[in-house]
Amino acid sequence: MPEISEVRIMSDFINQVAGRTENFVGISKNPEHKSKTNLHLPFESFQLRADARGKELRLKFISLDFNYEEAETRIMTFTMGMSGNWNYSKDLFSIPKHTHLTIVDCNGGVLGMHDVRRFARWDWRSWNPERGHDPVQETELFKKDILENLMKDRIFQKPIFEVMMNQKYFNGVGNYLRAEILGRIDLDPRLSAENYITRAGEQFFNITEKVIVESYILGGGQFKDWYNQADLEKKKSKEFQAWMQFYFNKERCEPIKDKQDRNFWIDKKWINDK
């Protein structure tokens, strides 16, 4: 957490802030954060554009310094860790606690990246080539990559509920999404990924995309360390909690541990069938 839906929601939020702002004038880091990334920009005034791919968020810094050439740009990409999120403050004096990266606009407002657990990271780079395709925005490439490697990569001999956390193939899928995706397919999620995907066929990819899109539309998960800035007062959290059928549903499911000691919420019918 945050997963693909939440990261995309963050990029939307940043673009909304940038759309209301004429320009930004500086970027800095909280000295308490251990990041060693040099935040120097070769221009003094810039605009921002954000996009998301799986669990990564990318910021494009676009120079507004006057010249007759194509605008100079720099790319910074973030992984949001367990609790990374974005906020906007009217001035430097109202920045929320645990804000570790700040981008100041020309009116004194501050776009901030805050992270209670401090696992979020950023660097001057584009997408991580070791992460797979985005299951929603790059659907056909996502599907092609899995099908081409289904019988080649030994990872697919492991249970599907473990493989779905592998970011090489399932970029953006985390704990709650794997529970909701696999729970909606009528197959035992302890089957090998190769067996499971082969038996599920097109349904596997359709439900994966459908569940992710639904979670995004509902405003993403509203959990202990993450919330949607745009929906703090719109009660979307209740809609999202009602949408979840399997994750942390103690009446319907039981938690089992994966190899990383994370709980996977499995429908009790699969336990009782054994």
- Residue 19 has a CB neighbour count (10 Å cut-off) of 10
Number of H helices, E strands in the chain: 8, 10
**Out of 2, 135, 159, 189, which one is annotated catalytic?**
2
**Out of 3, 6, 162, 194, which one is annotated catalytic?**
3
**Out of 6, 55, 143, 159, which one is annotated catalytic?**
55
Helix axes 175-183, 202-217, angle to 10 degrees: 130
Look up 257 and say whether it is catalytic: no
Question: Residue 61's Cα: distance from chain center in Å?
Answer: 20
- What is the CB-side half-sphere exposure of residue 123 using CA atoms within 13 A? 9
Q: How far apart are CA 49 and CA 105, in angstroms?
A: 14
Look up 2 and say whether it is catalytic: yes
Look up 55 and say whether it is catalytic: yes
Q: How far apart are CA 249 and CA 245, in angstroms?
A: 7
The angle at the Cα of 60, spanning 87 to 132, to the nearest 5 degrees, equals: 90
Peptide bond into 2 cis (omega under 30): yes
Task: Look up residue 152 and give its amino acid.
Answer: K
Q: How far is CA 235 from CA 50, 109, 140, 203, 218, in A?
A: 26, 26, 34, 31, 10
H or E element: which one contains 263?
A: strand 263-267
Active-site residues, by number, are: 2-3, 55
